């Protein structure tokens, strides 16, 4: 059973496009169906964490909007934060799904119990993934993955 879903941001919660203004990357677009699925996952008792190598205030705003309690940003090496998140959530690695798209996500995908890559992920992430979404990051891939996880957990009918 998967109890914790850890999400990357750029390329998973978003399309991966990084629009820049003179003072940096301040805008990201989030897909509404992904947000609804995240809420559904949490309503079914699943935990969610966001773990990103980059940092953006808008990600914090989105996490607050969705009620995601764990947000770690600005960590190029995600492994120590991954270990902390798992420990604090009280789950073993076999109870964790990680959803990623790029090379910094590969170490986490290798360690978790249910690695998921988005359709437009780097080929190394796809090779490791137990499930590759049909939809690209930022366009419903999270909603698709959560439906898959609910089926895997045997709670899809209840949702």
Identify whether 159 is part of a domain: no
**pLDDT tens by residue, 89-117:** 999 999 999 999 999 999 999 999 999 99
Identify whether 158 is part of a domain: no
**CATH code, domain carrying 12:** 3.40.50.1000
142: left (phi over 0), alpha (psi -120 to 50) or beta: alpha
Predicted structure pTM score: 0.93
So what's the pLDDT on residue 16? Answer: 80
pLDDT above 90 (res 37): yes
So what's the pLDDT on residue 63? Answer: 97
Report d(CA 150, CA 145) in Å as an integer: 9
pLDDT above 90 (res 25): no
Mean pLDDT of the region 78-92: 98
Identify whether 71 is part of a domain: yes
Identify whether 11 is part of a domain: yes
So what's the pLDDT on residue 157? Answer: 63
3-state secondary structure 23-61: CECCCCCCCHHHHHHHHHHHHCCCEEEEECCCCCHHHHH
Angle between helix axes 57-66 and 32-43 (nearest 10 degrees) is 50
pLDDT above 60 (res 7): yes
Q: Would you place residue 12 in the very low, low, confident or very high pLDDT band (cuts 50, 70, 90)? A: very high
Higher-confidence position of 17 and 101: 101
Q: Would you place residue 159 in the very low, low, confident or very high pLDDT band (cuts 50, 70, 90)? A: very low
So what's the pLDDT on residue 21? Answer: 74
Task: Quote the number of domains for the chain.
Answer: 1
Identify whether 63 is part of a domain: yes
Percent of the chain with pLDDT over 90: 81
So what's the pLDDT on residue 28? Answer: 82
- The domain containing residue 109 runs over which residues? 4-153
């Amino acid at each position: 059973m998967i109890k914790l879903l850890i999400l990357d941001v750029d390329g998973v919660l978003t399309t991966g496009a990084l629009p820049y203004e003179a003072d940096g990357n301040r805008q990201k677009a989030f897909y509404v169906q992904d947000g609804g699925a995240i809420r559904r996952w949490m309503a079914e008792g699943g935990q969610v964490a966001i773990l990103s190598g980059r940092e953006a205030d808008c990600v914090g705003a989105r996490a607050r909007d969705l009620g995601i309690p764990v947000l770690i940003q600005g960590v190029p090496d995600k492994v120590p934060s991954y270990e902390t998140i798992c420990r604090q959530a009280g789950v073993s690695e076999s109870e964790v799904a990680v959803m990623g798209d790029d090379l910094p996500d590969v170490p986490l995908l290798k360690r978790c119990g249910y690695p998921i890559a988005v359709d437009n992920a780097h080929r190394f992430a796809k090779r490791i993934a137990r499930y590759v979404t049909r939809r690209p990051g930022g366009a419903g891939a999270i909603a698709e993955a959560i439906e898959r996880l609910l089926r895997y957990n045997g709670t899809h009918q209840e949702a």
